[in-house]
Structure 1
Amino acid sequence: MKKSKILLGLALTGVLAITLIAADHIDAPAVQGGKSDITDLYAFQGSNTNNMVFVANVQGLLTPTASASASFDENVMVEFNIDNNGDNVEDLVIQAIPRNGVMFFFGPVAPGTAGTTSMVKTEKPLGSISITPYGSEPIITTNNGAKMFAGLRDDPFFFDFGQYSAIIAGTATSFNNPGSDTFAGSNVMSIVVELPKSLLGGTGTLNTWVETKKK
């Protein structure tokens, strides 16, 4: 595991609109600027309230020039971890692995082992999707009740890093409204999977986090 995010307390009850957001751009020295660097995890209820959506973004701050040649690393698996019984240990994983221009998804399935070492769970294929080429309309596929996407997207996270730095330095006391988006014009490589809540187990709260794992 090169880098992980742990985010706790994602409720799934009723028709409550749920959004969980985290961002973490290029601040882990071991993966900074690499293809396993996680920038964002999003988890939220789908427009179909019976579904959950999981989004993992990697390779932050891609310029338009860098975006044209950006690709997923075939030696890096992106793994969504789901704890459905509150013990902060993954009960289910959804794995995304790129090969030859296609993103293959496996799960949700119990991991072979919990923690930082994983085995690809090929016995539980969820589906696959052609990775959307640069400058193309998004390719989305539906299989086994799940929707999937993989490819380049505009960085969705808004943050005024300049004003943040000024606040930390003591030369400003608050953010501006709306402020300046540091990430405007930059892109990320994004993996999206939407699937029925019934596949995730549990009836109350889910804890979810995402990891990138190198072969």
Structure 2
Amino acid sequence: MTCTKQKIIEAAICLFNTKGYHGTSVRDIASEAGVNVANISYYFSGKKGLLEHLVTGFLEGYISTMAEAFEMRHVLSPKEVVFLIVRDILHYQSSHRSLTRFVYRELSLDSILIREIMTTYLQREKYYLKHIIETGREQGVFIRTPFAVFMSQLKGMLSAPYLYPQYISEVLYERPSDEYFTKMYGKEVEKWLSMMMEGNPSPVTQVLHL
């Protein structure tokens, strides 16, 4: 990747996060990157093309990360594969923090681009996880939590540190960008996964069933 193209990408991620996609002009991006406006058209065919490049590039890496973990299903148990997928995704997101934040915000919007992306990429995510969950159920190691509920909660946990960084830092007094928080958060996600997949009841659940 050329130096100019990388500068444009980095500038766009920064500005899209601070000013929003619609609040950022190509001139803003060019000024932030220190390049000529014409370079944005040359490399990305304009702001919309730049948006597509950022979102699809992120999701290509996201799905590739998940696919690599999914391939381990031949040597690992279903539970181990799910844990590996989640650990690798958390690491991938942490390694691309600013881009992750921007993409998750875009995914919350209803647009033709986002609908196309959901069909192209997120259906593959659903396939990988549904296959592993169903395999675990067949082996009698996972409880039958509705898959839609499981996925909704899992996606919420994976995206929360990037959708609500101000809340986490200013209300909860944690720093979501710190490595310590990322590790701590990952461990708590794993505890939740164990409960959801294996049905380990919490003390409250045990009382309710007495």
TM over 0.5, shorter chain: no
Could you say which structure has the higher helix fraction? 2
| Structure of greater Rg | 2
TM-score (norm 2): 0.21
Could you say which structure has the higher strand fraction? 1
Identify which of structures 1 and 2 has the higher relative contact order when contacts are C-alpha pairs closer than 8 Å and 6+ apart: 1
TM-score (norm 1): 0.21
